[in-house]
Each structure stands twice: as structure tokens, then as C-alpha cells.
A and B are shown apart, each in its own frame.
Chain A
């Protein structure tokens, strides 16, 4: 759309708003404007888009004024008035809007015409080393304000409360300290574990009010340090302050950092929805399942630890041939483009998006990454990807995929 209509004088903007799903792909919520701008640069890097961005202010005024929707879309006329508004961006509908308002283009650009690069998020140290906290209760984000610090917030606090704590003042609080991948630092497990300590006003009890992270064998990792605490704040609405002590380390530095946050007992409407715990499906889940075989917890799988089914593929997965399969080797392997053909269940994976069970995948049902290739997959252009068209896509991969390396 941008390619077709920017030359016709239409201006396009993405607006950067607070994270919808903090923690997803390791990204955590920015706490300063500069960090939001870093996120915009990261979005441009990873999405490969040339569309300019605007950045909501730190009060999230634009997000609030436009209804807090994650991916809403507006078309404005030259007087600045709304012509079209949608809760969720819809490229097809938007094209029709622009055809009506500005006129059709001779040869509309499809997503498949664009050589959009999709880069992975940054990674500084292994993840999956420290098990994530499993919380079954629904939790809501709390307002956590970072207090002034001479260092950047290499680590971000996410605080959440369960319904009981928000309702009657007595319940569970989640405290998660997440490394910000945009700073490129990791935990240094050769030094003292991370530590938190609360300063509590009278009448508020948090157990434990102090605590430290786990001792980890592996030299470095990037997993969040998480705690589940019991809170009894009675009738008090006083905020609490928590200090967090850690070492921020990368290849060049390793410095001790202490930072403070003020936590209020109020739901943060801009806190988004965190997704915790192991992935439920896909290659990431597969990696988690394989890493469960790491009996001695050293972050790698030896031949002795490998179950029968893994042993058969051990040499192929042990890329550097050192006798161990590491998470990095698995991730690298999973990220490879298809070698020698599509996965055997590719068609089923595509068709699993068919939410209404009509035997075809509509644009509305298609996950975003499939949406980018939707036009190409939808060979007859009827707006749906049928099983037959999914099979054709799989066949194209089968024909053009390179043979296996080993």
C-alpha cells in the first residue's frame, strides 16, 4: 500500500504504542522515550519496513485517545478528520478505501512482491537455563515506576497481582526482572545472584520481603529472575518500593547496578498481557522438550542424557561435534530454511488456522506471517487458502527446497 499510494501523496505512519505482549520474543516494555525510540529502530530492523514511525508519549495519550487497541487503523482526510477507523488493521479493506478515496493503481503491489526481510530478535546469552515460574492464576499488571538511576534500566521489573490482592488486599504478587535485549547484557552467574529487597510502609507485609535469584551453573544466561510473593496490605493503598541489585554484563563490561521501583496497587492499563511459561507449540516448544533431557542441568545434552529418539539424530544436531547438544545448536537448526522439502505436516499446520471449520483459511483467520504470503498462497484469488492451495504451497517448497546439508 505504501509503495502504491505514497507516490500518490498519501502519508503513512506506524504509531509505536506500549507493548501488547511484554516478554514475547524477549522484548520488554521501554521505560523512557529514548527506549521507545530504540524499539522503533528495532522494529524497522526486524520488520524491514520503510514506513515512517511516530512514537506515542510516555503517558500513552494517543493510545488512550484511540481506544487502546493493539493494531487499530485510521484513514484521515486532508482536513485531519477520520474517514475510516478499524479496531484491527485490514490491508485488503484499506486498499479498497484508498482506491475509493485516491483512485486505483494500475498494478497493485502484493506483499509477495516486496523483499521484506524478517530479522530475528537480538540474543546475548542462552535462555531456557532457569525454569520459568508457572503461574496458573490470572494476574494483572501493576503500575511499577522506575525511580531515577545513573544507569540505563538494563533490567525491567514487571509486577503483577492476582485478583485477591487487587480485591481484598491479600494475595499473590509476581515480581519478574527481565533483561532488556536491546542493551545486549546478560546475567553473570559467576558473581553473586541477583537480589531484591522491599521497603515497606507500616501495615503492609510482603513475604519474603527480601530474596535472591537462583545460583546457576551456566556462566551466563538471559532468563528472567522471577518471584511469587505473598502480600497482605490490609487497607493500605500506600505504594511500596523495591530495590533490585544485579550485575549488568556484556563482552566489555560487568558492573554492579542497584535500581529502585515504586509499585502501586493499581492495574496498569498499558501493561499489556504477559505470556509466561514454556511455549505451547512450534519449534520453541520442541526445543524446550528436547532440553528437558538435560538431567544434570548444565544447559546441554550429552549422549548419556539423550533419549533414544534423540540419539538417532545426535550427530546431526551436535553441529560443532563436541559431544553435546546445546540450546544454541537446536535454535540454529530450527531457524534454518527448509532443507529438502517442507515439514511433513506443513499443510495441516496451515489448515489449523481454519477457525470456523469451513475447510479453508480466510484472511481473518490467517496468522500474521501467513498473511504476508496470503496473496501468493491464494492462487485463485478468492480470498481464501484452500487445502489444495496449501498443498500447492507445500509442493513449491518441495520442488525448490535445497537438499539436506548432511
Chain B
């Protein structure tokens, strides 16, 4: 386990990671400002209901975000690249 982790550190440092989450834009840069503006333009903020959208679960069955109730929920957006 220990060796594996260290090998992974080296692999990461070497840029060998085959798959990564997207990197955040440089703090204070124009790209971040653009993303923040778009994020704010959604009108979403604490206290507001999460958007109600019909999507799918990982099996392809219909899933409505309305059903995300009854528990605390963490949602993280991501993709393969």
C-alpha cells in the first residue's frame, strides 16, 4: 500500500495520470472571473432549492433531482476529461 502510494505520487509528478478531474482556473484570472459570473447568473445561492431537472441514474433509469430530499446530499459535477 505504502509503495503503491509513493509510486502514484511519482506517477502524478511525472504527469502519467491517465485520468484527472479538470484543473481549476488560475485564481483571479479572467477565466475564473468568467466562470464565476456564469455561476452567479444561475441565481442559485444558499437557501434556494436545487434546480429541478429530469436526469438519469448511472443505469440509465430516469431520476429527478426533486428526489434528493430526506438526507444531506453532496453533488459534485465531473466528467472524463
Contacts and interface: CB of A to CB of B under 8 A. Distances in A.
Contacts of A372: 8, 12
A346 B10 contact: yes
A349 B79 contact: no
Contacts of B53: 56-57, 61-62, 65
Interface string A63-103: 10111111111111111111111011100001000100110
Contacts of B35: 67-69, 87
| Interface range, A side | 35 or more
Interface majority SS (helix, strand, loop, mixed), chain A: mixed
A356 to B, nearest CB: 8
Interface string A108-136: 00001001001111000000000000000
B38 A69 contact: yes
Contacts of B38: 67-69
Interface string A28-50: 00000110010111110011000
Contacts of A400: 2-3, 6
Contacts of B8: 118, 369, 372-373
B72 A77 contact: yes
Contacts of A42: 80
A20 interface: yes
Interface stretch (A149-157, A315-323, A331-339): A331-339
Contacts, number: 286
Given A68-B38, A75-B72, A335 B16 contact: yes
Contacts of A9: 71-72
A397 B10 contact: yes
Given A67-B41, A67-B44, A368 B17 contact: yes
B56 A54 contact: yes
A334 B79 CA distance: 25
A80 B49 contact: yes
A16 B78 contact: yes
Contacts of B17: 118, 368-369
19 contacts: A9-B71, A9-B72, A11-B72, A13-B75, A15-B78, A25-B80, A67-B39, A70-B22, A78-B69, A79-B49, A80-B49, A87-B35, A87-B39, A283-B16, A343-B13, A350-B13, A364-B24, A369-B12, A400-B2
Interface of A: 1, 5, 9-25, 27, 33-34, 37, 39-43, 46-47, 52-57, 61-63, 65-85, 87-89, 94, 98, 101-102, 112, 115, 118-121, 272, 281-284, 334-335, 337-338, 342-343, 346, 349-350, 355, 364, 367-370, 372-373, 376-377, 393, 396-397, 400-401
